[in-house]
Amino acid sequence: MEEIKTAVDTFINIVKNEKRISIDEAAKQLNLPVAIVHEWAVFLEEAKIFQIDYKFSTPYLTISDPNRIKHLKKSKEDMEKERDILLIKAQATIKDIKAKREFLLWLKKEYLDLRPRKKKRLAKPLAIILDQKTLLEEQTFKLLVDLKQFEVNKEKYRHFVRLRERFKKIESQTKAFENNLQKIASYMGNLHAH
């Protein structure tokens, strides 16, 4: 089966074959506006695939490291795999949060049955935990949507890194949520024991 090539892949191949080419000439060969090809060149220079040299005011492109191109293809596959893993983990996080809904409903019911003085002590922690649950559900759902819409070939790696960082933040917030939930459950258990 033939590999699907993007315009960026074609661009990289043109520079690789020509060894050194002006951005204007590359744009002509790609049949694209110079501004777009220049943006790609800057991005690929940041990724250390291209090197941009200027002769007078004309920018010329060369391949900075041929081995980097092989790494780029591998990293696309790695990004796809990691995106799929993050999707699965985000879906599992949503299921876990929803599974705790029954327990939170029980907590609310128990809270309503408490004496006023004990209610006062528990009001703020319970409000915090309910806010955490709502926020986690919203953030995780938004991340899930963004991960599903993320296309490895079209999106920049930096965007993927931001998605990964959002997931790590959600993981950290989920741990805090679960710790707070456990503390409240323990407190409620102690109230019933007395």
Q: Within this chain, do residues 134 and 185 fall inside the same structural domain, yes or no?
A: yes
| Contact between 28 and 39 (Cβ < 8 Å) | no
pLDDT tens readout for residues 102-159: 888 888 888 888 888 888 888 888 888 889 999 999 999 999 898 888 877 655 777 8
Q: Which stretches of the chain score pLDDT less than 50?
A: 1-4
pLDDT on residue 166? 92
- Which residue, of 19, 46, 64, is where some domain finishes? 64
Residue 2 lies in a domain: no
The CATH number assigned to the domain holding 21 equals 1.10.10.10
Phi, psi of 104 (to 5 degrees): -65, -35
pLDDT on residue 4? 43
pLDDT on residue 193? 58
Q: Within this chain, do residues 53 and 84 fall inside the same structural domain, yes or no?
A: no
Residue 43 lies in a domain: yes
Q: Which domain holds residue 123?
A: 74-193
pLDDT on residue 28? 92
Which pTM does this prediction carry? 0.55
Residue 100 lies in a domain: yes
Angle CA(158)–CA(134)–CA(103) in degrees, nearest 5?
130
What ranges in the chain are assigned the alpha helix state H? 7-18, 23-30, 34-46, 66-99, 101-112, 116-149, 157-193
